[in-house]
Amino acid sequence: MVISGHTHTCLNGEVDGKPMVQVYSKGTAFADVDLVINCRTRDVVRATGGIVTVWADRKG
């Protein structure tokens, strides 16, 4: 799992089987990440991620 930042763009994809996420800017979205790790071996068993847009009901 790669969690990126700084460029204020949206990235929600996969490279070489590894999920990659980056959310926009100014709190307009967040990354919903799920990692399952084997506690004994410390290997990542499953990694998923997605971008969730944040909607405001009103300004203010």
| Domain encompassing residue 37 | 2-53
pLDDT at 38: 97
For residue 59, being part of any structural domain is answered with: no
Counted domains in the chain: 1
- Is residue 53 classed as helix, strand or coil in its secondary structure? strand
Closest CA to 22 of 34, 40, 39, 7: 7
pLDDT at 33: 92
Whole-angstrom Cα distance, residue 18 to residue 3? 11
For residue 58, being part of any structural domain is answered with: no
pTM across the whole model: 0.68
Q: Which amino acid, residue 9?
A: T
pLDDT at 60: 60
CA 13-52-11 angle, 5° bins:
25
Q: What does the pLDDT look like over 14-59, one tens digit per residue?
A: 889 888 999 888 888 899 999 999 999 999 999 998 999 988 776 6
